[in-house]
Amino acid sequence: MEKTLVILKPCTIQRNLVGEILNRFERKGLRLAGIKMMQLTDEVLSEHYAHLSDKPFFQRVKDSMMVCPVIVCCYEGVDAIQTVRTLAGPTNGRKAAPGTIRGDYSMSFQENIVHASDSAEAAEVELKRFFKPEEIFDYNQATFGFLYANDEF
């Protein structure tokens, strides 16, 4: 089973969309393995968005992510990274198809509801950045046998 990070951004918190967004992942069948609310710092965001450090919007992105606390989640499932990214839709909410999270709730490139890991390597690094090992749980999900065929996992 693959694990991935999802961050519900401050715009999601401010717009009271937390339950609706978590529900999307839950309805799809992803298993929630960890969740917590936290206030992000400039230091953590500089590390998290280091790949954007040479962009003119770098500080604006960090400032946006510190407006209020965020909710970080670890989701697990077969092909969880791609599944989450498909549910989220393209980064720019104006270009995201209806039915995706960003297509239904975002009009922005930046204020786009969620951050989602883009690869297995990124997910591993990002999950370690936001979760201690004991904050990610392994448990039997009662619906597991109804989510996958027995040869899919």
The one catalytic residue in 105, 115, 117, 126 is 115
Report residue 27 CA to chain centroid gap. 15
Active site residue 115: yes
Are the C-beta atoms of residues 84 and 8 closer than 8 Å to each other? no
Determine phi and psi for 2, rounding to 5 degrees.
-95, 140
How far apart are the C-alpha atoms of 24 and 116, rounded to whole Å? 14
Q: Which residue has the tokens 């991935």?
A: 4
Active-site positions read 115
